[in-house]
Amino acid sequence: MKVKNIIKYVFAAFLMLQLSSCNSNTDAEQLFDKTPTERLEVQKSELNDALLASEFGWKAVYFTDNTVLGGYTHLFRFTENGNVEMASDFDDDTAVYKSEYAIQLGSTVSLVFTTKNRIHLLSESDNYPIPALRAKGYLGDFQFLYYGQENGQIIFKANRNNTEIRFVKATAQDWIDLPKNLVTEQNVIGGDSRPLFRLLETNDGTTKHQFDFTFSPVTRFAEANSIETGFSFSYEMGVGYTPTGIIVSPAVEVGGQKLTDFVYNSTDGSFTATGTGGVSAVIKYTDKPLVLTDDYKILLAGQATAAFGFYPDDYTMDATTNSALFYTELERINASLPAGQEISSVQLYFNHSLGNFIYYTFVGRSALFHYVDVVADNTGKKIILKHKSWNGNTTVATPAFLANFDKYLMDPNGLYVKKESFRLVYTNTVYTFASSTSPFRITTWKL
């Protein structure tokens, strides 16, 4: 090759390297040619465009803290003038309300709901579902920090506790169907005619496991604990309502698959999540406790005095193990009493010096003693309470305002008795009494 050609090729290669270097520098400069404020402005514009881009707005199931609370569905429709229309299934009011919002700049870009609307019900400290959340409310927020977009969803994190919230595009049907979430809520709680006990059954494709299942409507939170010897496992999950069932967070993991969507079956009241390869999880009813214990034996003759109490104005009222029918019958008592009177406790005494009795106390009227005999059903691991007298008078009939409530404690087929593993704020041991033939269940402190 001639020297002149060699020089020509070397020069061309050098020129290409220079041009490549210039392009790289240009790309780098483009990445860093904006100040932090300018980059935030770009994000602000991006978020603003996204909020306005969905014809029917956005939907979010907001799990404020899935270690203690469930999810609350919110629908949002944003407008260019800073207004937002909003609806939620927080309570029975699913109407649409208008308020204001702003996209604000700070250390990051955030969506802030600046005037009061449904989302603020989750952040009010004086609005709390259980005593443990006193002065904390529902742990929610109304300032959402913007974290970008993914698969058509807008990703936020709550400023209060960094919980992730995802906005998905809403449909016209979402707005129409929102009240159906309240129907689902009642299906999750279960009607008075449904069996009392529930279980979660998982199937990993080859093996099934069963878990005792409890749900708190007040917090929308569920717990499921294994009943199998040698298999110690539990699930805790927040529950959110949909028109066709529930979603849970965190997911129920079975066979390496994460199941979040459970579909309701109106025939048997079950909720089923289906994976692949035979993987599933089902929440369903059962007619008796999954595990029968000998806890009833401390109430039998020859044992020490045992006393138990339920108080409507204290923490026993919040026990998730109380049944819907129990609350219904409690309200019925108060509705039947004259104005100014109400029930203040239900206490059960066994092997007392006065005998065995149910002690009903009231505000505005005298207490009532229902004396009973206690019979053991050792095969069914239950106790049967048999009527003796009211206030020691064997000829007096059951007071009409107590008749419906009292009959469940006098179930001729017996009561299951369970010593609970949890506490209700105080150190007292907790016991639950459950009718064996109806969905009536009362949770008490051991006094």
Question: Does 33 have pLDDT greater than 80?
Answer: no
Q: Which of 36-50, 84-98, 131-145, 360-374 has the lowest mean pLDDT?
A: 36-50
From 2.40.128, 3.30.70, 1.20.58, 2.60.40, which CATH number describes the 295-446 domain? 2.40.128
Between CA 403 and CA 387 the distance in angstroms is 12
73 backbone dihedrals φ, ψ, rounded to 5°: -80, 130
Q: Which of 12-26, 138-152, 269-283, 409-423 has the lowest mean pLDDT?
A: 12-26
Model confidence pLDDT, tens digit, residues 176-221: 999 999 999 999 988 777 888 899 999 999 999 999 998 988 999 9
Q: What is the mean pLDDT of the segment spanning 300-306?
A: 95
The three-state (H, E, C) secondary structure of the chain, written as one string: CCHHHHHHHHHHHHHHHHHHHHHHHHHHHHHCCCCHHHHHHHHHHHHHHHHHHCCCCEEEEEECCCCCCCEEEEEEEECCCCEEEEEECCCCCCCCEEEEEEEEECCCEEEEECCCCHHHHHCCCCCCCCHHHCCCCCCCCCEEEEEEEECCEEEEEECCCCCEEEEEECCHHHHHHCCHHHHHHHHHHCCCCCCCEEEEEEEECCCEEEEEEEEECCCCEEEEEECCCCCCCEEEEEEEECCCEEEEEEEEEECCEEEEEEEEECCCCEEEEECCCCEEEEEEEECCCCCCCCHHHHHCCCCCCEEEEECCCCHHHHCCCCCHHHHHHHHHHHHHCCCCCEEEEEEEEEEECCEEEEEEEEECCCCEEEEEEEEEECCCCEEEEEEEEECCECCCCCCHHHHHHHHHHCCCCCEEEEECCCCCCCCCCEEEEEECCCCCEEEEEEC
Are 248 and 260 contacting, i.e. CB atoms less than 8 angstroms apart?
yes
Question: Does 18 have pLDDT greater than 60?
Answer: no
Q: Quick one: pLDDT band at residue 9, thresholds 50, 70, 90?
A: very low
Q: Quick one: pLDDT band at residue 1, thresholds 50, 70, 90?
A: very low
Q: Output the average pLDDT for the chain.
A: 91
Are 72 and 82 contacting, i.e. CB atoms less than 8 angstroms apart?
no
Q: Closest by alpha carbon to 324, among 434, 407, 412? A: 434
Q: Quick one: pLDDT band at residue 130, thresholds 50, 70, 90?
A: confident
Q: Quick one: pLDDT band at residue 32, thresholds 50, 70, 90?
A: low
User: Where are the domains positioned within the chain?
Assistant: 41-178, 185-286, 295-446
Question: Does 4 have pLDDT greater than 80?
Answer: no
Q: Quick one: pLDDT band at residue 6, thresholds 50, 70, 90?
A: very low
Question: Does 357 have pLDDT greater than 60?
Answer: yes
Q: Is the peptide bond before 250 cis (omega within 30 degrees of 0)?
A: yes
What fold, for 41-178? Lipocalin (2.40.128)
Model confidence pLDDT, tens digit, residues 133-182: 999 999 999 999 999 999 999 999 999 999 999 999 999 999 999 999 99
- What pLDDT is attached to residue 350? 98
Tokens of 312: 């409507």
Question: Does 228 have pLDDT greater than 80?
Answer: yes
Model confidence pLDDT, tens digit, residues 75-92: 999 999 999 999 999 999
pTM score, whole prediction: 0.76
From 1.10.357, 2.40.128, 2.60.40, 1.10.10, which CATH number describes the 185-286 domain? 2.40.128
Question: Does 3 have pLDDT greater than 90?
Answer: no
What percent of the chain is predicted at pLDDT more than 70? Answer: 93
Question: In terms of DSSP bridges, do strands 234-241 and 221-226 run parallel, antiparallel, or are they unpaired?
Answer: antiparallel
Taking residue 434's Cβ as centre, other Cβ atoms within 10 Å add up to 25
Between CA 275 and CA 270 the distance in angstroms is 16
